[in-house]
Amino acid sequence: MTTHPDAPRILVIQHEDGTGPGLVGAETDAAGLVPHLVHPWRGEALPATLTGYAGLLVLGGAPGAGDDETAPWLPAVRALVREAVGTGVPLLGICLGGQLTALALGGSVRVRPRGPEIGAVPLRRLPAADGDPVFGSVPDGAPAAQWHWDEIAELPPGAVPLLTGADCVHQAFRVGPRAWGVQFHPEVLGAAVADWARSDGPAAARAGADPAAAVASVRAAEPELREVWPRTARAWAEVVRSYARR
């Protein structure tokens, strides 16, 4: 596919191997957005600012949102999050990206006292989801793929909760007009979760989770996952395109 020279560019931050943009990236590519994918754990430098970018996509990963010693690029990511919200650049933070968004803006993140949440989990719409430009079409009870040991304990001041779950309260939220964070993984299907189960499953099992059941639940939910979450990714891509046209 030939890229138009004026196509909007988005900065995509990946925190480790095996946690790429997946379904979300496929939809942003199809929408004509040009990704600049940075792998800071490999030593690749993050841009100092978002100048020249029409969107910021922050992906998931194993580090904690405040693990600056083990993941020394995280302060720079949080600074870019604050810049995005302060300037109105569209932002989507996924799992760790959502936690970084919350922490950067004055919320808090904690290790889950109940152990990891893994597998396909049904989400509930909250009233503010009505009319939201990205999550407004998510049906009540839609399944979402989960694999996280930490969770957002408190949303930032002024954040609007959009989706919740029975075991993890803050599943999706909006800050300002064009910034969103999610705790779940809209970018993955069963194959990715199976990979995570091979690497992280033994620790999850020791913590009381059932990795095999988690993988099976995500595989069973794939028809709904393919219907719901690419649609939200397309909606976010349209927010980016509208911002770029302003």
Give the active site residues: 95, 185, 187
Q: Where are the strands (E) in 123-237, listed by range?
A: 124-125, 143-148, 150-154, 160-164, 172-175, 179-182
- Count of CB atoms within 10 A of residue 127's CB? 9
How many other C-beta atoms can be found within 10 angstroms of the C-beta atom of residue 193?
A: 25
CA atoms within 13 A on the CB side of 64: 14
Q: Return the structure tokens found at 214.
A: 């988690």
Residues 145, 151, 152, 153, CA torsion sign = positive
- List of residues 6+ apart from 142 with CB closer than 8 A: 122, 123, 224, 228
Distance CA 153, CA 103 (A): 10
CA dist 37 and 15 (Å) reads 11
Burial code (b: 16+ CB inside 10 Å, e: under 16) for 45-60 equals eeeeebeebbbbbbbb
Q: Does residue 101 come out as left (phi exceeding 0), alpha (psi in the -120 to 50 range) or beta?
A: alpha
